[in-house]
Amino acid sequence: MKQRTLFIILLLYSFYSCHHKLIPENTFEDKILLIKNNPKLYLSQIDTTKQNYINNSKEATSFLLYSLTLNYINNDYYPQKEQLLKSIHFFKKENLIQQQLEAQYILAKIYRNEKNLTNEVYTIEEAINTASRI
């Protein structure tokens, strides 16, 4: 009886832990919603020291969210273009369409700020093509 109870407890624990790992803590869309509603709160919740290192899509997403947050707080803020282009590369590679669209939006704003109409239009056209895949 004691072994059976212990077995059931372990079984329930394993079901809970497996199920818990399948549910993501916050989706990208949830984080975007938080940024739009309260960017300063989101900024206070993240580690801002690692935003310049982009080696994968997770780090690219973190950089993008950080950049969007700062852009919502200060409309004149633009992230490093090279980092943004690197992020877009990872988003394309892993087919992360929502992240890619958000990054292309910021990139188009950077080109507009630089008065580079050719690249701005090209980025917008790319974003339209990306959005059509949804």
Q: Residue 29 domain-assigned?
A: yes
Neighbours of 90 (CB within 10 A): 22
Q: Residue 11 domain-assigned?
A: no
The domain tally of the chain equals: 1
Tell me the pTM: 0.76
Q: How confident is the model at residue 69 (pLDDT cuts 50, 70, 90)?
A: very high
Higher-scoring residue by pLDDT: 121, 28: 121
| 50 pLDDT more than 60 | yes
**What was the pLDDT predicted at 134?**
80
Range of the domain at 72: 25-131
C-alpha atoms less than 13 angstroms from C-alpha of 83 in its C-beta half-sphere: 18
Neighbours of 114 (CB within 10 A): 12
Give mean pLDDT, residues 45-73: 86
Measure the CA–CA gap between 35 and 33, rounded to whole angstroms. Answer: 5
Give mean pLDDT, residues 67-72: 92
Q: Residue 89 domain-assigned?
A: yes
Q: Residue 20 domain-assigned?
A: no
The torsion of the CA quartet 85, 30, 49, 81, rounded to 10 degrees, works out to 20
Give mean pLDDT, residues 92-114: 96
| 10 pLDDT more than 70 | no
